[in-house]
Structure 1
Amino acid sequence: MKRYLVAAFSLFPFLASAQPGVKRPRLVIGIVVDQMRWDYLYRFQDRYGSGGFNRLLQEGFNCQQTFLNYIPSYTAPGHTSIYTGTYPALHGVTGNDWPDRKEGTSVYCCEDASVSPVGGSEAAGRMSPHRMKATTIGDELRLATNFRSRVFGISLKDRGAILPAGHSANAAYWFDDSTGNFITSSFYRKALPEWVVRFNGMRYADSMLAYPWNTLYPVASYRNSISDNNAYEYTLKGESEPVFPHRFGPGDYKAIRRSPRGNELSFLFAKELIAQEHLGERSCDMLALSLSATDYVGHAYAPNSVEAEDMYLRLDRQLASFLRFLDSYLGEGNYLLFLSADHGAAHNALWLQDQRVPAGTLSETVLAAALNKYLKVQFGADSLVSGVFNYQVFLNEPLLLSRHIDRIALKTAVKQYCLSQEGIAYAADMENLASETMPAALKELLLNGYYPGRSGSVAVVYEPGWYSDGKKGTTHGTWNPYDRHIPLLWYGWHIPQGETFDAVAVTDIAVTLAALLHIQQPDAATGKVIGKITDQER
């Protein structure tokens, strides 16, 4: 009997090691291309190479009909919704900035006076995710593995690094315009790692500013763009015309953001982080990489510019280089990657008008001033509207209380005035949406974007082609497909080749990741699993 017991126990290590375990990729990489319209996958495809976007399109899985399921469509809500699997109504990030009733002031989504900058300036470094109310998929991966998995965020924009990385991230790094360095805050660590100090010491940003941005090909061959010199684009500092080549001044680190060099710098830092932090060597780790330069170029030049076309042709090459790096470092098939966007962008309104397409601009600042002038006549008080932000009218709540003004009557007057203005299709009482007469689809988008105390009292819905911004460049934030239809490509570990034209929401991304990784969904998730992907994984 003793002999049998010894034999049985001697088998125990072998039996234990043979037990099936949870299978996960070595590394999960989320790439969010800031302001990437879905049609950019195809608009410039004839000049994409085989190793970047076309590799993902041909070898990965393409969710063709992926949309934001809320408005307003801005950077901070977009990144947060991708990684939390829910919309602003539950994660609380309603814009990049918003007037906050609880705090009694306008706030920036990541600003945090309780933390200190690490490696950078006060203005750039006092940031954290503390205003985000939900967990991210990275948080859930950390919790599921008892914090053995490591999670990092990278972006030129602080919000593009911080919000995707989540609350429990090992670190988030972003770019400081005042120094040309990648920095973090004391929310994550007390000092920059030595490898970040060495990376910053290489002064890549200075090298990138030393030579001009010119086109990859002769300008005349850019047939997907309008002429290089046109009336719809902004100029860089020191330029008289918005034309190539674009030159940069020494130390003008803000200019890095408005050129392909910004994405090049982000990819360089991402490669260094993966290697120096040994991601994927001991556990399933995660990297959230946001590419911000596309947004800055889009705002300055608009979708039909040579600059936008050249940006995406260069991004295609940068993406191909990054995929080759991942193949070499981790092994092809050992990493899981998705590529998406936080929002799209409108064509320049004046250019559309010149093509006889309905469009226009209506500044939120101008609208707020006109509203206050109108409301003073109606109610006898100045500044009853504190401002129009994120396509929402915010009321001056303290003044309403002190003057005993009827909120319902005031909101009705706000709606009436807005509806009388050219370019406005609907004005809706955000606190009583059920009673509004408007398409159900618009109601749902507004409701999903509404967070009490952080959203306005009246939503303003512009006509198609209209937006609130200047006459040049472009912007985003509206309900229209050009702002909400985003790319979603999956590639790598357990991802089948194919595509679906089924409706997919931005909130489905994190939920699908949770299913693939066999971990809990983020704690406010409302999305659904994309079955065409996970069914194959089974």
Structure 2
Amino acid sequence: MKILCFILVLSAGFFARSQRESPKIIIGIVVDQMCYDYLYRFEKNYSESGFKKLMNEGSHLKNMHFNYIPTYTGPGHASIFTGTTPRKHGIIANNWLERSSNQNVNCVGDKSVIGIESSPLYGSSSPHRLNTATVTDQLKMTYPKSKVISISIKDRGAILPGGHESDGSYWFDYGKGTFITSSYYMSKLPKWLQDFNQNNNAASYASTWFPLLEKDAYSANDDSPYEKILAGKTTATFPYDIASLCKTNSSLQPFTLSPFANTLLTDLAIIAIEKENLGKDEYPDMLCISYSSPDIAGHAFGPDSKEIEDIYIRLDLELARFLKSLERSFGKTGFVLFLTADHGVVSVPQKLVDDGEQGGYVFVDQIINRLRDSCESRFGVDFILGQTNLNIYLDHDLLKRKKDSVNINDVLALFEKELLNIEGIEQTARGTELFKGLESNDHLLQMLREGFDPKRSGDLLLILKSGYLPKSSLSLNPHQGTSHGSGYDYDTHVPCLWYGSRIKNTEIHQRLNIIDIGPTLLGLIDLPKTESMTGKSISAILKP
């Protein structure tokens, strides 16, 4: 069931050289929703052994950006580990409208597989929609005895980094509170993970979340009108009795937005290295870790909240603990680690508005209804198939049937005229123009082109103004919480830190693209780029 995307042939001399110089284990850490400025905004409360250690003793790439739209979790993880953009790897969003079924599909959803030791709603997932090879695939193709393990709370955070050839990709089951996988990878969980799940799970880790530090240590206030109030709470303030909130919500969602989920994932990473014997032979192994909880909390509370500040202070301690474990097991030169993020986040738009800055909301469902009315009024037919992720999909079959009386360009022109008069919309782009792939001097348009897939994207794509978010008029408390997805710096500028074997102690200020990470990883273990990679190796961070 695994997909072999390429054939790689290496000479015996090249093989021996890469074996000799490769680190024993490569660690790839993705923090879901980490803005670059978090490195400095919360720095005073960081330890010396976590983020600061990576910043001060490794390579600090200070101007790393995503070079496509939309900046979501699925595309972010895919781009980091494939070394290319959605235009090639096909993961255009977390979900999109599939024309053949007229249904939204998840980027890793796969009805052909079943969950392994999962509850009914979770587990049917695989990388089958990922169109290109990952760094981890290339590693496995070159060294079949190498191991690749990937873990995350989110399924997409584990599956996409692990690629098609992962030895084990494990994610969180919201029904059971344990880690699961799918039949794409194996028929049963390894014994060590079964044992881990028995004692290390949401029920055993859920506790009351108090601020870690004294009140005056934080820069953010606790009580803010811009944060979502969790069911079971009357205010968005500490403390959070996570076990009680899970019971009230009949869901483990409150656990996943707490720092305790990060602790659980760190413990899983440490035990996976031990039980899978990673880094113990001459073949380089790779462990991919994606910390999802900062994103889940960030959507609810926003980047200016005390909750997010506390989560990152605690995540720093998890990172320090993990680094200590790595150095104890492999020494300082036996591993290499990189840390980055899959996207940033915008401040809560309502806060921007109240502070006199540009920002606001575009209620997309109302806009689509308006376009449907205009379409019927002008052409006598509604040609809109659906909308998702600011992509408007037209009904191509209906257009074919009406081709003698209606031209698709006339429909698009009608929509464009109306959309550009709506507050918050910066510009629109037709799918046919994006498909041509022509270079553009318009930075945002070029980014949109890099995120476009003609088989999966819409016919008309929207770009919002800076500070604006798409919302539904049916959203509960739409002016609380926040999101991401744009091509503006608050969403594209993320940390990128490297540490360990063959990594220089340096700072790089040059603007770099997230797709450069993949080629750099391959350069680190002396493997050539895959044909699909469009990024460039950041050779300045590598020792000779």
Q: Which bin holds the TM-score, normalised by the shorter protein?
A: over 0.9
CA contact (8 A) 1:364 1:389 kept: no
Q: 1:190 aligns with which of 187, 190, 201?
A: 187
1:21/1:341 Cα in 2 relative to 1: closer, same or farther (>3 Å)?
A: closer
Displacement, 1:375? Answer: 1.9
Q: 1:54 aligns with which of 52, 55, 58?
A: 52
Determine if the alignment matches structure 1 residue 214 to structure 2 residue 201: no
Q: 1:456 aligns with which of 437, 455, 458?
A: 458
Aligned-partner residue type, residue 461 of structure 2: A
Per-residue displacement from partner, 1:355-376 (whole Å, max 9, x unpaired)? Answer: 1001001133232222212222
Displacement, 1:261? Answer: 1.1
The residue number in structure 1 matching 2:170 is 173
CA contact (8 A) 1:26 1:335 kept: yes
Query: Distance between the aligned counterparts of 1:53 and 1:158, measured in 2?
Result: 25
The residue number in structure 2 matching 1:113 is 111
Query: Distance between the aligned counterparts of 1:87 and 1:337, measured in 2?
Result: 22
> Could you list the runs of 5+ residues in structure 1 that have no partner in the other structure?
1-15
CA contact (8 A) 2:18 2:525 kept: no
Query: Distance between the aligned counterparts of 2:371 and 2:71, measured in 1?
Result: 24
The residue number in structure 1 matching 2:425 is 424
CA contact (8 A) 1:134 1:522 kept: no
Displacement, 1:378? Answer: 1.9
The residue number in structure 2 matching 1:8 is none
Query: Distance between the aligned counterparts of 1:150 and 1:55, measured in 2?
Result: 27
Per-residue displacement from partner, 1:279-302 (whole Å, max 9, x unpaired)? Answer: 000121001100000000100000
Query: Distance between the aligned counterparts of 1:178 and 1:29, measured in 2?
Result: 29
Q: 2:484 aligns with which of 451, 471, 476?
A: 476
* Range that drifts further, 328-337 or 373-382: 373-382
The residue number in structure 1 matching 2:285 is 285
Q: 2:447 aligns with which of 445, 459, 479?
A: 445
Query: Distance between the aligned counterparts of 1:502 and 1:208, measured in 2?
Result: 42
The residue number in structure 2 matching 1:5 is none
Displacement, 1:436? Answer: 11
SS at 1:298 equivalent: helix
CA contact (8 A) 1:88 1:94 kept: yes
CA contact (8 A) 2:18 2:526 kept: no
SS at 1:196 equivalent: helix
Query: Distance between the aligned counterparts of 1:471 and 1:397, measured in 2?
Result: 36
CA contact (8 A) 2:211 2:238 kept: yes
The residue number in structure 2 matching 1:244 is 238
Displacement, 1:237? Answer: 2.1
Percent identity of paired positions between Structure 1 and Structure 2: 36
Query: Distance between the aligned counterparts of 2:231 and 2:493, measured in 1?
Result: 32
Query: Distance between the aligned counterparts of 1:460 and 1:335, measured in 2?
Result: 43
Query: Distance between the aligned counterparts of 1:61 and 1:500, measured in 2?
Result: 8
Per-residue displacement from partner, 1:168-226 (whole Å, max 9, x unpaired)? Answer: 110100000100110000100000011111111004311222x2111011334312x2x
Per-residue displacement from partner, 1:12-52 (whole Å, max 9, x unpaired)? Answer: xxxx9xx8563100100000000001111111111111000
Query: Distance between the aligned counterparts of 1:447 and 1:270, measured in 2?
Result: 36
Per-residue displacement from partner, 1:58-98 (whole Å, max 9, x unpaired)? Answer: 00101111110110110000000000000000000000000
Matching of residues 136-535 of structure 1 within 5 Å: 136-145=134-143, 147-209=144-206, 211-223=207-219, 225=220, 227-248=221-242, 249=244, 252-282=251-281, 283-382=283-382, 384-404=383-403, 405-433=406-434, 439-469=441-471, 470-534=478-542
Displacement, 1:437? Answer: 12
The residue number in structure 2 matching 1:42 is 40
Query: Distance between the aligned counterparts of 1:218 and 1:387, measured in 2?
Result: 49
Query: Distance between the aligned counterparts of 2:445 and 2:43, measured in 1?
Result: 35
CA contact (8 A) 1:425 1:461 kept: yes
Query: Distance between the aligned counterparts of 2:215 and 2:95, measured in 1?
Result: 38
Displacement, 1:415? Answer: 1.2
Query: Distance between the aligned counterparts of 2:211 and 2:87, measured in 1?
Result: 42
TM-score (norm 2): 0.91
TM-score (norm 1): 0.92
Query: Distance between the aligned counterparts of 1:278 and 1:267, measured in 2?
Result: 17
The residue number in structure 2 matching 1:24 is 22
Query: Distance between the aligned counterparts of 1:299 and 1:262, measured in 2?
Result: 16
CA contact (8 A) 1:336 1:492 kept: yes
Displacement, 1:523? Answer: 3.7
Query: Distance between the aligned counterparts of 2:31 and 2:439, measured in 1?
Result: 36
Aligned-partner residue type, residue 213 of structure 2: Y
* Range that drifts further, 197-206 or 418-427: 197-206
CA contact (8 A) 2:178 2:201 kept: no
Query: Distance between the aligned counterparts of 1:260 and 1:117, measured in 2?
Result: 26
SS at 2:121 equivalent: helix
CA contact (8 A) 2:84 2:532 kept: yes
Displacement, 1:165? Answer: 0.2
**Aligned residue pairs: how many?**
514
Query: Distance between the aligned counterparts of 1:359 and 1:403, measured in 2?
Result: 40
Per-residue displacement from partner, 1:244-263 (whole Å, max 9, x unpaired)? Answer: 00112266422111111111
1:246/1:62 Cα in 2 relative to 1: closer, same or farther (>3 Å)?
A: same
CA contact (8 A) 1:117 1:186 kept: yes
Query: Distance between the aligned counterparts of 2:239 and 2:322, measured in 1?
Result: 26
SS at 1:183 equivalent: strand
Aligned-partner residue type, residue 254 of structure 1: Q
Per-residue displacement from partner, 1:336-358 (whole Å, max 9, x unpaired)? Answer: 10000000000000111111001
1:150/1:351 Cα in 2 relative to 1: closer, same or farther (>3 Å)?
A: same
1:298/1:21 Cα in 2 relative to 1: closer, same or farther (>3 Å)?
A: closer
Query: Distance between the aligned counterparts of 1:247 and 1:307, measured in 2?
Result: 14
CA contact (8 A) 2:431 2:454 kept: no
SS at 2:295 equivalent: helix
Query: Distance between the aligned counterparts of 2:99 and 2:450, measured in 1?
Result: 19
Query: Distance between the aligned counterparts of 2:333 and 2:51, measured in 1?
Result: 17
SS at 1:468 equivalent: strand
Per-residue displacement from partner, 1:95-120 (whole Å, max 9, x unpaired)? Answer: 00001234543211111111111010
Query: Distance between the aligned counterparts of 1:400 and 1:303, measured in 2?
Result: 44
Query: Distance between the aligned counterparts of 1:88 and 1:32, measured in 2?
Result: 18
Displacement, 1:417? Answer: 1.2
1:399/1:332 Cα in 2 relative to 1: closer, same or farther (>3 Å)?
A: same
Aligned-partner residue type, residue 187 of structure 2: K
Give the RMSD, CA atoms, in angstroms.
1.8
Determine if the alignment matches structure 1 residue 90 to structure 2 residue 88: yes
CA contact (8 A) 1:511 1:521 kept: yes
Per-residue displacement from partner, 1:482-505 (whole Å, max 9, x unpaired)? Answer: 001111100001100011111210
SS at 2:262 equivalent: helix
> Could you list the runs of 5+ residues in structure 2 that have no partner in the other structure?
1-12, 472-477
Determine if the alignment matches structure 1 residue 73 to structure 2 residue 71: yes
CA contact (8 A) 2:437 2:449 kept: no
Aligned-partner residue type, residue 373 of structure 1: D
